[in-house]
Amino acid sequence: MPQDTATAFVTAAQAKTRPQRPHVAVIVPVHNEEESIGPFLKAVRPVLDGLEADWSVLFINDGSRDRTLDVLIGAMRDEARISIINFARNFGKEAAMTAGLDAVDADAVIVMDVDLQDPPELIAEFVRHWRAGYDVVYGARSQRRSDSFLKRFTAARFYSMFNKVSNVPIPSNVGDFRLIDRRVVRSLGELRERNRFMKGLFAWVGYPSMAVPYERPVRPHGETKFGFRRLWNFALDGIFGFSTLPLKAWTYLGLLLAVFAVLYAVYLTVRTLLFGIDVPGYASLMVAILMVGAFQLTSLGIIGEYIARLTLESKSRPIYIVENHYKAGDL
Ligand code: UDP
Ligand code: MG
């Protein structure tokens, strides 16, 4: 299975379609990030100013309970190219990115975190590759020194498992930090599923892609919003959202057990005929019952995961609710 979906092939014709002075929009999901917004804007501004492009920054305030919205409105008063989508509650980063992609109208869109773990300097390089014709340019974490051993280990296991079972491989050690072309944004807009594992959706739409390696720094302000439980659920969303293999695997396991059961039955019959009935067998019976029971419960649980997701999808609720979209003229 390919570990890297980067396609090296771009046509010169594609590069020619890039506008002379494009509009580059940056979308930034934020959740309880009052201390990070100032440093973020300070770092990103000079990079955007150096792009020879028109730019805008759209923050999606994902149900923050601190002063994030106040800080954002203050920033918007100073800079007309900033706008804010304020969610009615916390819908999660995936929903926030979706809202950003739905709202922007730009030639190239950059998705990045506010905590400066996605280095702003990379934006210039992303735009350069985009001008050369790539439709997707993503940052690949070359070393994950800023992550704990446990996180690195579980992440590596997750990517290798995901790529074994999913029909669209995702490159490992790639986050959401990326630039995407207008037409990729349009394609993503057609995917309205509620289970939004964005990395999977980005990979699913395809387009010529390019990876830019970088060293991910530690978070300078605030702390991560993704604890272990959230990451676990995120991983489940990824696997169950992009593969039906876990559902199908039970057929084969069941068949295997059945074959084993028939062989064992034959063996027991022959043995009984030859040597008579052998009464002891408590341990083997117990193991067999517990093991088959465990298989059944696990398979039921996996069916449950899919049914729960089907239930959510069938309700067709919106992916997010916007409380207000603040634009420069409004204040
Ligand atoms: N975030 C969000 N909604 C959430 C959780 C996080 O919009 O429910 C934002 C957060 O403000 C940050 C980005 O998503 O801009 C990445 O979050 P974080 O740095 O906590 O994740 P990590 O880098 O640890 O994976
Ligand atoms: Mg972070």
pLDDT at 13: 64
Task: Output the ligand 1 site: residues, CB below 6 A.
Answer: 29-31, 33, 62, 90, 92-93, 96, 113-115, 117, 219, 224-226
Beta bridge partners of 24: 55, 108
Distance 192 CA to ligand 2 centre (A): 26
Q: Using CA atoms, how far apart are residues 261 and 20, in angstroms rounded to an integer? A: 70
Residues of the chain with pLDDT under 50: 1-6
Q: Using CA atoms, how far apart are residues 245 and 161, in angstroms rounded to an integer? A: 11
pLDDT at 3: 39
> Tokens for 46?
């000079």
Instruction: Write out the residues surrounding ion ligand 2, Cβ under 5 A.
Output: 113, 115, 117
pLDDT at 145: 73
pLDDT tens digit sequence for 108-118: 999 999 999 99
Distance 32 CA to ligand 1 centre (A): 9
pLDDT at 138: 92
> Tokens for 12?
């010169």
> Which atom of ligand 1 is nearest to 96's Cα?
7
Q: Using CA atoms, how far apart are residues 209 and 142, in angstroms rounded to an integer? A: 17
pLDDT at 17: 80
Distance 259 CA to ligand 1 centre (A): 49
pLDDT at 150: 84
Phi/psi of residue 322, nearest 5 degrees: -90, 120
Distance 115 CA to ligand 2 centre (A): 6
Q: Where are the alpha helices (H) located in the chain, listed in sequence order?
A: 12-16, 34-49, 68-78, 93-103, 122-131, 149-165, 182-189, 198-205, 228-242, 245-275, 282-315
pLDDT tens digit sequence for 256-268: 989 998 999 899 8
pLDDT tens digit sequence for 30-57: 999 999 999 999 999 999 999 989 999 9
